[in-house]
């Protein structure tokens, strides 16, 4: 049998159901490996002893009808977990212990999974490299001093390093797909409204969406099936018929029309990305898909529109962190002074930058020129997709314009950092589902991902395409365990 921590979710479930291994053995293996991997800094809060206890309880009275029987899982620290510190990667929530559970994590526990701990992320999910976290950088297990991407950097790192068999992240502008691409893993951003936002620390409410991250497409489908539920506690949750994504997964994508948008061939895109995309098109063809050239004319406006809408919502969503009710509070002479000190000491630079941008674009006199215009652009971008989907079933693009970069390489250049999201943000602005699958490596051997964008509520279709292409691509992540001495 393969080493426990290298097994995929579906393998683990098979083995636990066949009683070849116990939940305790599995949990212990991930705990031991996580203990040895502290230098990756993937975790913010570990909950190992509690996880081991829960595993024992599961083994004493196992229920194998559940979808995630006795499976230990670490989750992004943006999901509120009852009784366990939830920081959103920020100093301002460094002491915050929720008394409630997010719907998405509750769904996971309801299916028998066990919480291992809370994973590092960019502060309030604002970042593309996990460098904005108050709890420090996360190492990409692919290579030393390489960022894992962001904002779900801790999740991607822990997953690629086999510290958790699967994980969940959140994706506001690419925060699941980009780190998945950087770490050679699979990440799905579901349709907006598919997964409840209840109990997830909000960044930009109209864009935020939780989603699964895994080592393969099958695991991804299973986890999506578990986390996607209609929830009356989230007014933007959508009551649509959810498929049994795992059960209905098929590699038969014969005749599926896959669109290739010319606007994604951006200036200065490295040859290696061009090559990756071309290969991806071949793989899709080999799977029996039909390739169709399409146009998404407003793509170029997506990034600026995103960097208006997201900060605008964030500036308001983060107003509640004021030192009055919970979280970090700095001493002040009076209320205003307390606010100013609390928020300038409690928030990091990137968060403050976005709050300022957001406050500016919503200000009277600028609202029409920025926020309103960005919302109009957003509509145009959505219309582009609607038009394209009259002709195709899915769209294939690269996930990111480059492979993972070095820690510190882009920290002083926010705009270059924002450019990381160029292929991912149009999807969030349109509320569509998209999956990133590993599809190759660059010259340095760093993974690169391909993105498959679907129609709204059509997760099954992009999972099927990903599943079919995954087999043809046959990507193997090279993790050398360099961080384990």
Partner 1 sequence: MDKVNKINTDFLISREKNIYEVIIGLEVHAQVTSNSKLFSSSSAKFGAEPNTQVSLVDAAFPGMLPVINEFCVKQAIKTGIGLKAQINKRSVFDRKNYFYADLPQGYQISQFKHPIVGEGTVVLDMPNGQKEVGIERLHLEQDAGKSIHDIDPQHTMVDLNRSGVALMEIVSKPDLRSPDEVNVYIKKLRSIMRYLGTCDGNMQEGSLRADVNVSVRIKGTDKLGTRCEIKNVNSIKFMQMAINYEANRQVDLIEEGKSIAQETRLFDTKKNETRSMRSKEDAHDYRYFPDPDLLPLEVSDDFVEKIKSEIPELPDEKKKRFIEKFKLSPYEATILVSDIETSKYFEEVVENSDVKLATNWITGELFAVLNSKNLEISESPISSKNLSKLINLIKDGTISGKIAKTIFELMMDSDKDPQKIVEEKGLKQESDPKALEALIDKVIVDNPDKVKEYKSGKEKLFGFFVGQAMKDSNGKANPQLLNDILKKKL
Q: Is 175 a catalytic residue?
A: yes
Report how many residues bind partner 1 under the rule CB under 8 A.
43
Is 45 an interacting residue with respect to partner 1 (CB under 8 A)? no
Q: Is 316 a catalytic residue?
A: no
Look at residues 40, 216, 258, 272 and name the one whose alpha carbon lies nearest to residue 135. Answer: 40
Residues belonging to the chain: 485
Is 75 an interacting residue with respect to partner 1 (CB under 8 A)? no
Active site residue: 54, 76, 118, 410, which one? 76
What is the footprint of partner 1 within residues 179-208 (CB under 8 A)?
A: 197-202, 204-206
Q: At residue 261, what are phi and psi to the nearest 5 degrees? A: -80, 120
Residue span binding partner 1 (CB under 8 A) among the ranges 62-70, 96-104, 245-253, 456-464: 96-104
Answer for the pair 86, 336: CB distance below 8 angstroms, yes or no.
Answer: no
Containing H/E element for 183? helix 177-183
Q: Please, what is the minimum distance in Å from the beta carbon of residue 113 to partner 1?
A: 20
Q: Please, what is the minimum distance in Å from the beta carbon of residue 326 to partner 1?
A: 7
What is the footprint of partner 1 within residues 117-136 (CB under 8 A)?
A: none
Q: Is 391 a catalytic residue?
A: no
Nearer to partner 1, 96 or 483 (CB): 96
Contact residue for partner 1 among 58, 246, 301, 371 (CB under 8 A): 371
Is 474 an interacting residue with respect to partner 1 (CB under 8 A)? no
d(C-alpha 176, C-alpha 313), whole Å: 20
d(C-alpha 38, C-alpha 164), whole Å: 13
Contact residue for partner 1 among 82, 96, 257, 330 (CB under 8 A): 96
Nearer to partner 1, 203 or 446 (CB): 203
Contact residue for partner 1 among 17, 144, 247, 319 (CB under 8 A): 319
Answer for the pair 4, 29: CB distance below 8 angstroms, yes or no.
Answer: yes
Distance between start and end Cα atoms, the chain: 24
Answer for the pair 437, 464: CB distance below 8 angstroms, yes or no.
Answer: no
d(C-alpha 77, C-alpha 89), whole Å: 7
Q: What is the DSSP string of 25-93?
A: HHHHHHHHHHHHTGGG--EEEE-HHHHHHHHHHHHHS--TTSSSTT-EEEEETTB-BTTB---TT-GGG
What is the footprint of partner 1 within residues 223-252 (CB under 8 A)?
A: 232-236
Is 339 an interacting residue with respect to partner 1 (CB under 8 A)? yes
Give the count of alpha carbons within 13 A of 108, CB side only. 25
Is 412 an interacting residue with respect to partner 1 (CB under 8 A)? no
Is 312 an interacting residue with respect to partner 1 (CB under 8 A)? yes
Is 320 an interacting residue with respect to partner 1 (CB under 8 A)? yes
Look at residues 260, 241, 237, 172 and name the one whose alpha carbon lies nearest to residue 210. Answer: 172
Q: At residue 9, what are phi and psi to the nearest 5 degrees? A: -60, -45
Answer for the pair 86, 77: CB distance below 8 angstroms, yes or no.
Answer: yes
Nearer to partner 1, 43 or 371 (CB): 371
Q: What is the radius of gyration, based on Cα positions, of the chain?
A: 21
Nearer to partner 1, 268 or 365 (CB): 365
Residue span binding partner 1 (CB under 8 A) among the ranges 13-21, 51-59, 256-264, 363-371: 363-371
Q: Please, what is the minimum distance in Å from the beta carbon of residue 168 to partner 1?
A: 14
Nearer to partner 1, 70 or 358 (CB): 358
- Residue listed under structure tokens 């010259």: 443
The structure tokens listed for 204 are 């930009």
Three-class secondary structure of residue 43 per DSSP:
strand
Residues serving a catalytic function are 76, 151, 175
Residues of this chain that interact with partner 1 (CB under 8 A) are 80, 86, 88, 93, 96, 98-100, 102, 197-202, 204-206, 232-236, 312-313, 315-316, 318-320, 322, 324-326, 335-336, 339, 359, 362-364, 367, 371
């Amino acid at each position: 049998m393969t080493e426990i921590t290298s097994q995929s979710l579906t393998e683990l479930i098979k083995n636990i159901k066949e009683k070849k291994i116990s939940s305790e053995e599995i949990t212990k293996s991930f705990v031991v490996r996580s203990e040895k991997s502290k230098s990756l800094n993937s975790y913010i809060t570990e909950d190992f002893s509690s996880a081991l206890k829960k595993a024992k309880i599961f083994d004493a009275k196992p229920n194998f009808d559940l979808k995630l029987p006795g499976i230990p899982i670490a989750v992004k620290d943006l999901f509120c977990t009852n009784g366990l510190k939830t920081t959103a990667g920020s100093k301002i929530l460094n002491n915050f212990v929720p008394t409630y559970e997010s719907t998405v994590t509750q769904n996971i526990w309801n299916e028998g999974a066990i919480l291992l701990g809370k994973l590092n992320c960019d502060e309030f999910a604002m970042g593309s490299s996990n460098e904005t976290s108050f709890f420090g950088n996360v190492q990409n297990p692919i290579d030393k001093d390489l960022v894992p991407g962001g904002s779900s950097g801790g999740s991607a790192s822990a997953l690629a390093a086999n510290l958790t068999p699967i994980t969940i992240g959140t994706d506001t502008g690419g925060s699941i797909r980009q780190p998945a691409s950087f770490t050679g893993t699979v990440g799905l951003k579901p349709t907006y409204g598919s997964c409840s936002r209840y109990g997830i620390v909000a960044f930009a409410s109209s864009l935020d969406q939780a989603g699964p991250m895994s080592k393969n497409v099958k695991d991804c489908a299973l986890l999506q099936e578990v986390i996607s539920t209609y929830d009356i506690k989230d007014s933007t949750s959508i009551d649509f018929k959810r498929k049994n994504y795992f059960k209905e997964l098929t590699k038969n994508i014969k005749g599926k029309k896959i669109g290739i948008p010319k606007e994604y061939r951006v200036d200065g895109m490295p040859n290696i990305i061009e090559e990756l995309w071309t290969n991806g098109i071949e793989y899709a063809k080999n799977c029996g898909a039909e390739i169709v050239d399409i146009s998404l004319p407003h793509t170029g406006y997506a990034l600026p529109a995103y960097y208006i809408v997201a900060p605008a919502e964030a500036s308001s969503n983060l107003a509640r962190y004021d030192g009055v009710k919970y979280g970090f509070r700095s001493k002040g002479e009076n209320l205003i002074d307390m606010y100013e000190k609390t928020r300038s000491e409690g928030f990091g630079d990137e968060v403050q930058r976005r709050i300022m941008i957001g406050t500016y674009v919503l200000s009277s006199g600028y609202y029409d020129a920025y926020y309103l215009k960005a919302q109009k652009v957003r509509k145009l971008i959505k219309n582009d997709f609607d038009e394209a989907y009259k002709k195709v079933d899915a769209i294939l693009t690269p996930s990111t314009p480059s492979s993972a970069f070095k820690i510190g390489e882009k920290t002083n250049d926010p705009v270059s950092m924002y450019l990381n999201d160029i292929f991912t943000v149009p999807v969030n602005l349109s509320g569509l589902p998209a999956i990133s699958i590993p599809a190759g490596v660059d010259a340095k051997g760093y993974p690169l991902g391909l993105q498959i964008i679907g129609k709204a509520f059509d997760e099954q279709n992009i999972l099927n395409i990903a599943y079919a292409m995954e087999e043809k691509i046959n990507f193997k992540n090279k993790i050398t365990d360099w961080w384990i001495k």
